[in-house]
Amino acid sequence: MKTVIKTNNLSKVYTNTAVPVHALKNVDLEFKEGEFTAIVGPSGSGKTTFLNVIGGLDKPTEGHVLIDDVDIATMKESQLFDFRLRHIGFVFQAYNLIPVLTAMENVSFIMLLQKQPKKEMEKRAKEMLEQVGLSDKLDSRPSQLSGGQQQRVAVARALASKPDFVLADEPTANLDTESAFNLLDIMARLNKEENITLIFSTHDQRVIDRASRVITLVDGAVDKDEYFERN
């Protein structure tokens, strides 16, 4: 299986505090194409920092992040913006939808930035909203959607541009039980059917129970790295 992400000696220290915070300590990990990984651990263990660093949203203090053999840790911000746009999908706890845009327009937004042809963009956006069960909400704005529906739009947006992998930071944290299960069913199906690489940071046992790999961080270091057979 193809290696999508590789980290070498990855460390992150925050120095804008009274005492330096070592958020990540010498993390060496590889992620293969099609894996469904949950990053777990107590609050402050480095889960979100790890996602931010491998997603190019934050710079490591030391070490390397190789995506398709390209070290994003050495990129300038302008290069990173373009790289994220074309290679990485993000799903955030807070949805981060644009309030004035419809579901269709929100899903199309990344493809618009990529300057994809309008017809292809609209076709892909409709397909992805159908995949997440929102074919009847194409023209709805975020304020007209439930929390679960908004998060499904966010998932459709993350996947629409066919990224190399998707990073999801606590995506079920604000959802009720039914919405969380629906979202996980959708993402697990897309993981299997389209071989999409998913990396979640989570406290949610429902997510952990779906993941084929569970990495436990403690104080910024890898404590466990376990693989599971899932149906």
How far apart CA 9 and CA 217 sit, in angstroms, is 15
Q: What is the mean pLDDT of residues 27-51?
A: 95
- 11: which 2 tokens? 């460390």
Task: Confirm if 14 and 23 have CB atoms less than 8 A apart.
Answer: yes
How far apart CA 81 and CA 57 sit, in angstroms, is 9
- 41 pLDDT more than 80: yes
Model confidence at 94, pLDDT cuts 50, 70, 90, reads: confident
- 230 pLDDT more than 80: no
Instruction: Mention every residue, 6+ apart, whose C-beta is less than 8 A from residue 189.
Output: none
How far apart CA 209 and CA 213 sit, in angstroms, is 10
- 26: which 2 tokens? 């010498």
pTM of the model: 0.92
* Per-residue pLDDT tens digits for 158-209: 999 889 899 999 998 888 888 888 889 888 888 888 888 999 999 999 999 9
CATH 3.40.50.300 for domain 3-94+163-227: yes
How far apart CA 24 and CA 3 sit, in angstroms, is 21
Reduced to 3 states (helix: H, G, I; strand: E, B; else coil), residue 87 is helix
Instruction: Mention every residue, 6+ apart, whose C-beta is less than 8 A from residue 156.
Output: 103, 107, 125, 128, 129, 131, 132, 134
Model confidence at 99, pLDDT cuts 50, 70, 90, reads: very high
pLDDT at 124: 94
- 18 pLDDT more than 90: no
Domain boundaries, the chain: 3-94+163-227
Closest CA relative to residue 46, chosen from 4, 89, 14, 87: 14
